[in-house]
Amino acid sequence: MAIIKRPPKQSAPNVDLTSSEIQSYRTVEEIYARAEALGVKTFPFDVISYLKCHGVRIVYEEIEDMSGCVELENSTIIVTINKYQNQTRQRFTAAHELSHIIKHFPNVKDGEFKIGETVLFRDNETIGKVEREANELAAEILMPRNVFDSLLRDGIRNIERLAEKFNVSPAAVRYRAYKLGYIQRY
């Protein structure tokens, strides 16, 4: 993660995102209830539609050495996704950025704040608390515990098959399985 402070643009209004709609649904249960109310598909979770339904602009472009970024510009939240990464990686990036919006975007000033992504799924001392929180919430959103458990109960125990079901990468499934305590090491 890199937090890039930009010089504020003139006449940029302050936007309190803590009062914005997308930030009022914070837990996985709240997010899923909201998605259902909006008619957004929840399995696999359609994170792009969820963002768009809340007015977030999604931009796909080439970003050197980054998976994506999230920023606020002219009172619009913009999530940029690296168009050269594969679709499952893009989905994780979108969920990761949604998590930043929910957890780390309070009281930002328009045009001055941006979080850029370089690394996903690392869970050691070198990755910051903010990134860990975003990865964890993203994995929960894409692979809720109750759905993960019910797939296991249905006998789907192969990492690749779980990844297909959730439409995420095998690496993302391993990360979630580790977080849920199903595997000892990630």
Question: Applying CB under 5 A, which residues contact Zn ion?
Answer: 1, 117, 131, 134
Distance of closest approach, residue 69 Cβ to Zn ion, in angstroms: 8
Residue closer to Zn ion, measured from CB, 129 or 185: 129
Contact criterion met (CB below 8 Å) for 160 and 170: yes
Which of these, 67, 83, 138, 77, lies nearest to 113 by C-alpha position?
Answer: 77
Q: How many CB atoms lie within 10 A of CB 16?
A: 11
- Of residues 73 and 136, the one with the C-beta less far from Zn ion: 136
79 or 162: whose CB is closer to Zn ion?
79
Count the Cβ atoms, other than its own, within 10 Å of residue 3. 11
Residue number, 73 or 133, with CB nearest to Zn ion: 133
Using alpha carbons, list the distances in angstroms from residue 6 to 62, 88, 112.
21, 30, 5
On whether the CB atoms of residues 70 and 105 are closer than 8 A, the answer is yes
Q: Using the structure block, give the residue that is written with the tokens 């690392």.
A: 122
> From the CB of 138, what's the least distance to Zn ion, in Å?
9
Report, in Å, the least distance between residue 31 CB and Zn ion.
Answer: 18
The minimum distance between CB 50 and Zn ion, in angstroms, equals: 18
Least distance in angstroms from the C-beta of 75 to Zn ion = 22
In the complex, minimum distance from the CB of residue 3 to Zn ion, in angstroms, rounded to a whole number: 9
User: Which segments of the chain are extended strands (E)?
Assistant: 2-3, 57-61, 68-73, 76-82, 114-117
When the beta carbons of 162 and 179 are compared against Zn ion, the nearer one is 179
Q: With contact defined as beta carbons under 8 Å apart, do 12 and 112 qualify? A: yes
Pairing state between β 68-73 and 2-3: unpaired
Pick between residue 110 and residue 117 the one whose CB is nearest to Zn ion: 117
